[in-house]
Amino acid sequence: MKKFLVILLAVVAVGAFAFSLEDLKVSVFGNYNFVVSATSTTSDATAANYLDFGLDLTYPVAENMELGLGLGFAYLLGTDATPLFSVDATPSQNALDLFAVFKYSIELDRESRVVIRGFGGPSWPMAKFDFGKFGWVFGVGASYTRDFEGLVVGLGAGVEMRIYEKNNVIAIPVGGNFEINF
Q: Name the pTM for this structure.
A: 0.81
> What pLDDT, on the 0 to 100 scale, is given for residue 42?
54
Give residues with Cβ within 8 angstroms of 174, minimum separation 6: 31, 32, 33, 34, 156, 157
Type of residue at 124: W
Provide the percentage of residues in the chain whose pLDDT is more than 70. Answer: 81
Beta strand residue intervals within the chain, DSSP E:
25-39, 50-62, 65-76, 94-107, 112-125, 135-148, 151-164, 167-181
Q: Which CATH number fits domain 23-181: 3.40.50.1470, 2.40.320.10, 2.40.160.20, 3.40.50.720?
A: 2.40.160.20
Q: In the predicted model, what is the mean pLDDT of residues 135-140?
A: 94
Specify the pLDDT at position 25.
Answer: 86
Phi-psi region of 88 (alpha: psi -120 to 50; beta: other; left: phi over 0): alpha
Q: Is the pLDDT of residue 44 over 60?
A: no
Binned at pLDDT 50, 70 and 90, residue 15 comes out as: low
Rg of the chain taking only CA atoms, in angstroms? 17
- Average pLDDT over all residues of the chain: 83
Question: Of 17 and 163, which is predicted with more confidence?
Answer: 163
Does residue 43 carry a pLDDT above 90? no
Q: 3-state class of 84 per DSSP?
A: helix
Work out the number of other CB atoms within 10 angstroms of the CB of residue 65.
12
pLDDT of 115:
94
List b or e across 18-29, with b for residues whose CB sees 16 or more CB atoms inside 10 angstroms: ebeeeebbebeb
pLDDT band of residue 73 (cuts 50, 70, 90) is very high
Q: How far apart are CA 147 and CA 107, in angstroms?
A: 11
pLDDT band at 80, cuts 50/70/90? Answer: confident
Where are the domains positioned within the chain? 23-181
What CA–CA distance (Å, rounded) separates 85 from 53? 16
pLDDT exceeds cutoff 90 at 93:
no
Per the model's pLDDT, the better-predicted residue between 126 and 6 turns out to be 126
